[in-house]
């Protein structure tokens, strides 16, 4: 498949649903499972992830095109991307505190957590592997972020219900969460006939 | 060549990003000079914005109690913020009751100063200072309790209310690499302004008590801050009932001596709970006090006296012993200091004896 032919909008919607980062690529599972106890916090983390994904995609796209490729350092992209993500999260946090204090208060404690979210690194790597252009990368980043947000909010909403209901002792906690995630992944796969990018 | 290029590029990229972060911090975290208005313009501080309220106050020698050093884990650094500094953060929520949130109480380590801010700080906290002291005397009280006398450097004087406590910072020792700050009640009298005495019981595995018991020698230097706490003597009581266990004797000793020194002519009963005779200390001191001041009674009670103790005094739980001496609680104040288990048991008994809940003061540790 030659990527540049895919419409950026297809990429956007596909990365929300059929190629969802967490439900089809299993990236960003750690915080997906550990921070999905409450809808409010889960949704907060989801929003922060979306924001960071969009920013880091833009920055990493530029860094890759204008620094990594000219210097023939492609084999170092993992390291470079991680450093860039860590640094940009720091700067985003400072900037948000300054200009969007209310948002910072809501997302504040989640921002540092995002540095180690593998979904963010995944976006940058997929963008390179699939040879996306800038618009495609941007919408891919935005879509994946929204997809991650949708997935974690849904999971949290379901877990809020299951936490209150009686479940077999052995399933309490991660066990049941894994089953729910599996069912959610299948549900998201159900859309695969509409559009696909993988 | 390839290796060199790799090293240089990664270093280069990291350096550029670090510089960017530093620049961003310089511009984004620079909130200029901000004013902290304390207690309706009673005191005004000018600080550089961008850091926490707790650290800005500390750098101006106003010490808000804090045991965790600004990590939002101890919940001690509560102060009332009068201006709007944004909603309560998720990191603060676990430490604040709904009433406190309504009152504008915040954890000062979590409030970042971005603009002029108005706060209200209780008068007592202004009194809190940092003292540099030398350990001038260490006396063994029991097998696990020692009393320390800390003399302040020349020119330093303390003003405290009997019953309050100080905080000591331990230095790293042995395998312990961290510093720890812990609170200990003052056992000396407020009129002794050039030193404080502390009674410290060894807590097995305790960071600071092990440091004090095993590593501090006479002549060593320590850094202490204080006085803290709202456990101190109030006036207007017909009779004082003191109950303590272990190192809880410290603030009671201070309060009782303070009452005597000030010539307050009220009856005092001091019930001291211990397991065996080996846990009693300062007995002679209190016996002498009894002789000099007939209105002061010292009643130690052993809950599990060994036969070889030859104990002729009171036995049983300190709460049961107290009931034999005090008939009713009306008009009387009770001061309790000890473990939470002991205090809760005492409060229950005292309330059943008509002590008013607001006349029962306690310090749990």
Q: Tens digits of per-residue pLDDT, B227-260?
A: 888 888 887 778 899 999 988 999 999 999 999 9
Q: Examine the pLDDT at B365 and tell me if it is beyond 80.
A: no
Q: How far is residue B326's CA from residue B267's CA, in Å, rounded to a whole number?
A: 11
Within-domain flag for A12: no
CB contact under 8 Å between B29 and A97, yes or no, is yes
Contact B32, B114 (CB under 8 A): no
Residue A197: phi, psi to the nearest 5? Answer: -125, -5
CB contact under 8 Å between B86 and A105, yes or no, is yes
Per-residue pLDDT of B187-214, as tens digits, reads: 999 999 999 999 999 988 888 888 899 9
Per-residue pLDDT of B332-351, as tens digits, reads: 899 999 888 889 999 999 99
Within-domain flag for A5: no
CB contact under 8 Å between A108 and B89, yes or no, is yes
* Window B:20-39, CB contacts with A under 8 Å: 20-21, 24-25, 28-29
CB contact under 8 Å between A84 and B112, yes or no, is no
**Top-confidence residue, B47 or B179:** B47
Within-domain flag for A8: no
Within-domain flag for A129: yes
- Structure token digits, residue A130: 């699939």
Q: Which domain holds residue A30?
A: 17-191
Chain B residue numbers with beta carbons less than 8 Å from the beta carbon of A111 are none
DSSP-assigned letters across all residues of B247-272: GGHHHHHHHHHHHHHTT---EEEEEE
Chain A residue numbers with beta carbons less than 8 Å from the beta carbon of B14 are 83
In a mutational test of the B interface, the residue from A67, A68, A84, A98 whose CB has the highest number of chain B CBs within 10 Å is A98
**Top-confidence residue, A13 or A110:** A13
CB contact under 8 Å between B13 and A67, yes or no, is yes
ipTM of the complex: 0.76
Read off the pTM.
0.57
Within-domain flag for A7: no
Task: Give the count of domains, chain A.
Answer: 1
**Domains in chain B, CATH or no CATH each:** 33-123 (3.10.20.30), 127-228 (2.40.30.10), 239-364 (3.40.50.80)
Q: How far is residue A175's CA from residue A44's CA, in Å, rounded to a whole number?
A: 24
pLDDT at B301: 92
Average of per-residue pLDDT across B162-178: 86
């Amino acid at each position: 498949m030659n990527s540049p032919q895919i419409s950026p909008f297809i990429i956007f919607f596909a990365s929300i649903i059929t190629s969802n980062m967490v439900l089809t690529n299993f990236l960003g599972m750690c915080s997906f499972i550990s921070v999905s106890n409450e809808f409010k916090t889960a949704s907060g983390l989801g929003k922060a992830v979306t924001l960071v994904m969009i920013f880091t995609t833009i920055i990493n796209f530029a860094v890759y095109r204008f620094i990594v490729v000219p210097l023939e350092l492609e084999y170092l992209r993992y390291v470079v991307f991680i450093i860039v993500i860590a640094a940009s999260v720091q700067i985003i946090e400072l900037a948000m505190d300054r200009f969007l204090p209310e948002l910072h208060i809501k997302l504040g404690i989640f921002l540092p957590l995002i540095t180690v979210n593998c979904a963010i690194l995944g976006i940058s790597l997929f963008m390179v592997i699939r040879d996306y252009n800038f618009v495609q990368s941007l919408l891919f980043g935005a879509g994946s972020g929204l997809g991650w947000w949708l997935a974690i909010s849904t999971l949290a909403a379901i877990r809020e219900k299951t936490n209150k209901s009686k479940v077999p002792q052995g399933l309490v906690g991660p066990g049941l969460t894994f089953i729910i995630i599996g069912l959610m992944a299948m549900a998201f796969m159900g859309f695969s006939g509409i559009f696909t990018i993988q | 060549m390839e290796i060199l290029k790799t090293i240089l590029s990664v270093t280069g990229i990291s350096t550029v990003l670090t510089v960017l972060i530093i620049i961003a911090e310089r511009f984004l975290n620079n909130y200029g000079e901000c004013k902290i208005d304390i207690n309706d313009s009673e005191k005004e501080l000018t600080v550089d914005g961008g850091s926490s309220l707790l650290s800005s106050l500390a750098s101006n020698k106003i010490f808000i109690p804090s045991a965790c050093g600004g990590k939002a884990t101890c919940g001690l650094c509560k102060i009332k913020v009068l201006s709007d500094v944004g909603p309560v953060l998720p990191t603060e929520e676990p430490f604040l009751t709904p009433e406190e949130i309504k009152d504008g109480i915040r954890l000062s380590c979590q409030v970042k100063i971005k603009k002029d801010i108005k706060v209200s700080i209780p008068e007592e906290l202004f009194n809190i200072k940092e003292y540099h002291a030398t350990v001038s005397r260490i006396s063994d009280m029991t097998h696990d309790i020692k009393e320390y006398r800390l003399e302040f450097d020349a020119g330093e004087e303390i003003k405290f209310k009997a019953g309050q406590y100080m905080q000591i910072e331990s230095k790293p020792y042995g395998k312990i690499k961290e510093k720890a700050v812990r609170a200990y009640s003052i056992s000396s009298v407020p009129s002794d302004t050039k030193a404080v005495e502390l009674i410290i019981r060894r807590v097995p595995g305790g960071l600071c008590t092990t440091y004090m018991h095993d590593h501090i020698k006479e002549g060593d230097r320590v850094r202490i801050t204080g006085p803290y706490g709202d456990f101190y003597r109030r006036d207007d009581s017909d009779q004082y009932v003191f109950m303590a266990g272990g190192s809880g004797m410290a603030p009671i000793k201070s309060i009782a001596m303070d009452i005597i020194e000030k010539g307050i002519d009220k009856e005092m009963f001091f019930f001291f709970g211990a397991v065996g005779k080996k846990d009693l200390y300062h007995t002679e001191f209190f016996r002498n006090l009894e002789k000099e001041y007939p209105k002061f009674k010292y009643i130690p009670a052993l809950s599990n006296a060994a036969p070889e103790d030859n104990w002729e005094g009171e036995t049983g739980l300190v709460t049961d012993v107290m009931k034999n001496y005090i008939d009713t609680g009306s008009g009387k104040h009770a001061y309790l200091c000890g473990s939470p288990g002991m205090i809760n048991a005492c409060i229950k008994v005292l309330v059943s004896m008509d002590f008013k809940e607001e006349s029962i003061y306690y310090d749990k540790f």
